[in-house]
Structure 1
Amino acid sequence: MSLLNIRALGVTLSTDLFSNLNLSIAAGDRIGLVAANGRGKSTLLKCITGDFEPTTGEITRARGLTIGHMEQNLPAGLETLTFREAVLGALSPEQQESEGWRADVTLEELEVPEALRERRLDALSGGWQRIALVARVRVGEPDMLLLDEPTNHLDLSKIALLETWLATLPRDMPVVISSHDRAFLDAVTNRTLFLRPERSPLFALPYSEARAALDEMDAAEGRRYERDMKTAQQLRQQAAKLNNIGINSGSDLLVVKTKQLKQRAEKIEDAAKPAHLERSAGAIRLANRGTHAKVLLTLEDAEVKTPDGTPLFRTGQKFICQGDRIVLLGLNGAGKTRLVGQLRRAIEAAGASLQGIKATPSLVLGYGDQALSDLADTETPHGTIIHRFDVGDQRARSLLAGAGLSIEMQGRPVGQLSGGQKARLGMLVLRLTNPNFYLLDEPTNHLDIEGQEALERELTGSEASCLFVSHDRAFVRAVANRFWVIERRRLVEVDGPEDFFAEAALSA
């Protein structure tokens, strides 16, 4: 039974975000909503709730339908509330008075530890804040859920928790999920909508299978377009020949035939539709200056500690060699970021042994962390590039435009950019640094699927040497060729990531 119908829906802002969108949402649907950053996913969800008026089309909802909408950011003022207060506040005053138990049931469903429930949200991690937003839309027991980027800031154990929680929801409850997490979409969806400006294809498949079907559809449309245009060109060539013959012979019949051939060519050209060409959100390219050294970093049983000196783990003897793409895996608090920091300091020490880690003197570091802390919020993108690199004004503007930052955006403070725009700026800075070793902490944070795949191609295609931390399972599987796991206070090398992924899911 259909609960919500979308007919010929379109939204035009500076450009068409989407148009002529038709979608029926029925009981049991788990729909993945996929598009690049800034292409209308959040806008569509707001259209469904009635918080945004579309340019064209209509949405009809079943009588009495209630919708829970999880937006990407904490509502203003929520950060000063405790976890439980934030969830309870999503209920009406009457419900809070008589049905406050719902908040506790929801906190149990989402396995929120007792110790966190009375802590203010601004004292919690971004991952727990995200869980709080999920709890707020669930507590009212709506008929339909809309989740906007629910896995942002979540580690693997919390992603697994969210997947399990979605599986335990009533089977007839429809859920629409906007996400760039490919593995998550594969785990929790049964339909996939690719949001596009002209026609938005819908497949009754989870993401990876739907993406393969979409690529084949686009390829078939591309081949059909080429055939149609070739046919039209042949008709025009025939018309030109007949026209010449008709003029020389004075034949009215050939003139008529020429006109008919041209009309057929025009009809084919008018009807032919080129294959969809995704408008890039900005290119991601990396550099690799290379080095003659085979061993880039040596770890001589380095000890990793917390800031107060508490031991976390020891590395044993490890070598990072040219061409290695090492993923560092471990549960939250295991010490991944601490080791990344020690590696960074050792590289910056220019060949000296530091805390049991020694880097080859020829190493040039490309470093990026998940908070993009290397970018100053008060600086502009244009200023960031020209102050750090000797590229000149026009070259800087060209590079920034290629990274998806318009002239207008180039003059804004970095702090006003979206997460995706900041991530692409960070990748441009990495490229211009021209490193021969990359140290990356959650590099896919804020990148859409197009950006994730571009980064994968750059790291693997250029044979870049790197060590990275990531909770993105699809990215780990695509990029890493060595796997280090922190377990039982030791750093061990394993054959692949799947056992760790399974363990992280069990620890949720």
Structure 2
Amino acid sequence: MSLITIRALDVTLSTPLFANLTLSVAAGDRIGLVAANGRGKSTLLKCITGDFEPTTGEIFRARGLTLGHMEQNLPAGLDGLTFREAVLAALSPDQQESESWRADVTLEELEVPEELRDRPLAKLSGGWQRIALIARVRVGEPDVLLLDEPTNHLDLTKIARLEAWLATLPRDMPVVISSHDRAFLDAVTNRTLFLRPERSQLFALPYSRARAALDEMDAAEEKRFEKDMKAAQQLRQQAAKLNNIGINSGSDLLVVKTKQLKERAERIEETAKPAHLERSAGAIRLANRGTHAKVLVTLEDALVETPDGTPLFRTGQKFICQGDRIVLLGPNGAGKTRLVRLLRQAVEAAGANHHGIKATPSLVLGYGDQSLSDLSDSETPHGTIIHRFDVGDQKARSLLAGAGLSIEMQGRPIGLLSGGQKARLGMLVLRLTNPNFYLLDEPTNHLDIEGQEALERELTAREASCLFVSHDRAFVRAVANRFWVIEKRRLIEVEGPEEFFAEAALSA
């Protein structure tokens, strides 16, 4: 039985987001919504809740159906509340008065530590704020869950905890999830909807298998279209030949035949549908200037500490060599970001031994962190490129347009751009820096799947040397060729990431 039925739904803003979308959500459905940034995932969820009016189409909800909608950002005024107060505030006043126990049950269900429950959300990490948003939609025990980017800012342990929690929900409870986390979608969904401006595609499969089926379907459509266009061209060529013969011979029969061939060609051209061409959110390209040095960075049992001097771990003797793509794994708080900062300082020290870390003097660093802190919110994208690099006005505008930033966006303060737009600007800055060593802290945080795959291709195809931190399992598997894990206050090298991923799941 369908709980939510969507018929011929069309949403057009400045451009069409999706058209003629038909979908039913039934008991037991776990649907993954997949599309590039800004292509309608959040809008569709708001259409389902009734918070956004579609251009055309209808949405029917079962009588009495309750929806739990987790949006991407904290609602205004919520950050001043404690974790428990924020969850309690999601209940009606009557429920807050007589059923406050619901908040405590939900916090237990999501395994929120006692010491965090009375802490203001503003003082918690982005990951715990995300868990608070999930708790707020769960506490009301809705019939259907709508989750918008639930894994944003979560580390692997919290992602595993979220996966485990979703598995404990009643099997007949439908869940609709918008996400760019491919491994997460594979773990928790059984249907996948690829939102497109025309002909959105639904598969009764989790993401990776659905993506393979979609690629196969697109390839078949492309072949059909090419075959149809070739057939139409051949008919037109035959018509042209007959037309010449008919004119020279004065044959009325050949003139009629020529007209019939042209009409057949026109019918084929009118009915032929070109394969879907994904409109890019902006190109991601990197550079690799190379270096003659084989060993790029040497770690001589460096001590990694907290800002107040508390020891976290020692690195042992390690070498980062040309062509290495090293992923740094470890639980939150283990010291990953501290090591990344030490490595950055060592590269900038140009050959000096910095706290037991020495970089070859020829190293040119490409650095990016998850908060994109090297970009100033008050500066414009155009100003950023002009001031940092020796490029003219027209070249800067062309580069920014290629990265997906329109002329209008180029003049806006960076602080007004979306996370995806900022990420693509950050990637352009990295490319123009022309480094030979990349140091990346959560580089996929604001990228959609298209952007993640483009970054994977660039790092591997250009044989870029890099060390990166990531909670994105699909990205780690695709890019890394060496694996460092912080374990028991030591930095150790392992054969692959799967044991660490499994342990993160067990500790959830």
Specify the TM-score bucket, using the shorter chain as the normaliser. over 0.9
Is 1:6 the counterpart of 2:41 in the alignment? no
User: 1:139-154 to 2 correspondence within 5 Å?
Assistant: 139-154=139-154
Q: How many residues align?
A: 508
How far 1:294 moved relative to its partner?
0.2
What amino acid does structure 2 have at the position aligned with 1:327? Answer: V
Equivalent position of 2:320 in the other structure: 320
Q: Which residue of 1 aligns with 2:406?
A: 406
**Whole-angstrom distance in 1 between the partners of 2:110 and 2:366:** 38
C-alpha displacement at 1:507, in angstroms?
Answer: 1.6
Report the alpha carbon displacement of residue 69 of structure 1 after superposing the two structures with TM. Answer: 0.4
Cα displacement (A) at 1:506: 1.5
Alignment of structure 1 residues 134-283 onto 2, 5 Å: 134-283=134-283
Which residue does 1:329 correspond to in 2?
A: 329
Which residue of the partner structure matches residue 457 of structure 1?
457
Structure 2 CA distance for aligned equivalents of residues 377 and 339 of structure 1: 26
Shift of 1:505: 1.2
| Structure 1 counterpart SS, 2:353 | coil
- The separation in 1 between residues aligned to 2:103 and 2:488, in whole angstroms, is 36
Please name the residue that 2:311 is paired with.
Answer: 311
Cα deviation, 1:333-384, whole Å, max 9, x if unaligned, reads 1000000000000000000011000000000000000000000000000000
Aligned match of 2:394: 394
Alignment of 1:84-123 (within 5 A): 84-123=84-123
Q: Distance in 1 between matches of 2:330 and 2:60?
A: 47
Residue in 2 that maps onto 1:379:
379
AA of the residue aligned to 2:266: E
Q: 2:24 — aligned with what?
A: 24
CA distance in 2, matches of 1:83, 1:501: 28
Kindly report the root-mean-square deviation, in angstroms, between the aligned alpha carbons of the 2 structures. Answer: 0.4
Structure 2 match to 1:291: 291
Distance (Å, rounded) in 2 between the aligned partners of 1:443 and 1:505: 22
**Matched residue SS, 1:165:** helix
Matches within 5 A, 1:34-73: 34-73=34-73
Aligned to 1:447: 447
CA distance in 2, matches of 1:316, 1:140: 50
In structure 1, the gaps of 5 or more residues are: none
- The Cα shift of 1:164 comes to 0.3
SS at match of 1:128: helix
**Which residue of the partner structure matches residue 78 of structure 1?**
78
- Cα separation, 2, equivalents of 1:138 and 1:331: 26
SS of the equivalent of 1:432 reads helix
Structure 2 CA distance, aligned partners of 1:91 and 1:403? 43
The one-letter code sitting in structure 2 at the alignment partner of 1:113 is P
Matched residue SS, 1:193: strand
SS at match of 1:5: strand
Calculate the TM-score normalised by the size of structure 2: 1.00
Q: Helix, strand or coil: the match of 1:382?
A: helix
Alpha-carbon separation, structure 1, partners of 2:4 and 2:311 = 55
Secondary structure of the 1:106 match is: helix
> Helix, strand or coil: the match of 1:65?
coil
CA–CA distance in 2 between the matches of 1:394 and 1:64?
57
TM-score under structure 1 length normalisation: 1.00
Output the CA distance in 2 between the equivalents of 1:44 and 1:476: 30
Structure 2 residue 419 is the aligned partner of structure 1 residue 435: no
1:504: Cα distance to partner?
1.0
TM-aligned CA deviation for residue 165 of structure 1:
0.4
Rounded to whole Å, the distance in 2 between the matches of 1:81 and 1:441 is 30
The aligned amino acid for 1:4 is: I
User: Equivalents in 2 of 1:57, 1:268: separation in Å?
Assistant: 30
Matched residues in 2 for 1:61 and 1:490: separation? 54
Q: Secondary structure at the match of 1:262?
A: helix
Q: Deviations over 1:4-56 (max 9, x none)?
A: 10000000011100000000100000000000000000000000000000001
The residue type paired with residue 318 of structure 1 is K
Letter in structure 2 aligned against 1:256: V
CA apart distance, 1:423? 0.3
Runs of 4+ in 1 over 4 A off after TM superposition: none
Partner of 1:419: 419
* 1:467-478 → structure 2 map (5 Å cutoff): 467-478=467-478
Distance in 2 between residues matched to 1:210 and 1:363, nearest whole Å: 42
**One-letter amino acid matched to 1:38:** G
Cα distance per residue 1:276-303 (max 9 Å; x no partner) = 0000000000000000000000000001
Identity across matched positions, percent: 89
C-alpha displacement of 1:118: 0.5
1:504 & 1:111 partners in 2: Cα distance? 15
SS at match of 2:354: coil
Aligned equivalents of 1:136 and 1:256: distance in 2? Answer: 72
Deviation digits for residues 60-99 of structure 1 (CA, Å, limit 9, x no counterpart): 1111111110000000000000000000000000111111
